[in-house]
Homo-oligomer: A and B are copies of this chain.
Amino acid sequence: MENRIIIPERRIRIISSASVAGGDEENGPFGGSFDITDVNGRFGMETWEKSESEMQRLALGCAMRKGGIDVDSVDAMFAGDLLNQCVGSNYGLSDYRIPYFGLYGACSTAAEGMMLAAIMCSSAPRRCAAVTSSHYCSAERQFRYPLEYGGQRPPTAQWTVTGSGAFILSSEDEDCGEESEYTPVVKEMLPGFVVDRGINDVNNMGAAMAPAAADTIARYFSSGRDVKEPDMIVTGDLGREGSGILCDILASDGYDISDRHVDCGVLIYNIDEADKHSGGSGCGCSAVVMSAHILKNIRSGVIKDVLFIGTGALMSPLTLNQGSTIPGIGHLLRIVGEKR
Interface residues of A (CB under 8 A from B): 1, 4, 8-9, 47, 49-50, 72-73, 75-76, 80, 82-87, 90-91, 93-94, 97-106, 112, 115-116, 119-120, 122-124, 190-196, 314-319, 322, 324, 327, 329
Residue of B nearest to A75 (CB): B4
Residues on the B chain within 8 Å of A316, using CB: 83-85, 87
Pairwise interchain contact B104-A86, C-beta atoms closer than 8 A: yes
15 more A-B residue pairs beyond the given contacts A1-B72, A102-B314, A103-B103, with a C-beta to C-beta distance below 8 A: A8-B123, A9-B123, A49-B322, A50-B324, A84-B317, A87-B315, A94-B196, A97-B193, A99-B190, A99-B191, A100-B191, A100-B192, A101-B116, A102-B106, A122-B122
CA distance A113 to B228 in the complex (A): 37
Residues on the B chain within 8 Å of A193, using CB: 97-100
Residues on the B chain within 8 Å of A324, using CB: 50, 91
CB distance from A31 to the nearest CB of B (A): 31
Pairwise interchain contact A106-B124, C-beta atoms closer than 8 A: no
On whether A93 and B322 interact (CB within 8 A), knowing A4-B75, A104-B102, A314-B102, the answer reads no
Pairwise interchain contact B98-A322, C-beta atoms closer than 8 A: no
On whether A191 and B101 interact (CB within 8 A), knowing A49-B319, A94-B327, the answer reads yes
CB distance from A280 to the nearest CB of B (A): 19
CA distance A87 to B329 in the complex (A): 13
CA distance A318 to B190 in the complex (A): 35
CB distance from A337 to the nearest CB of B (A): 24
Residues on the B chain within 8 Å of A72, using CB: 1
Residue of B nearest to A118 (CB): B123
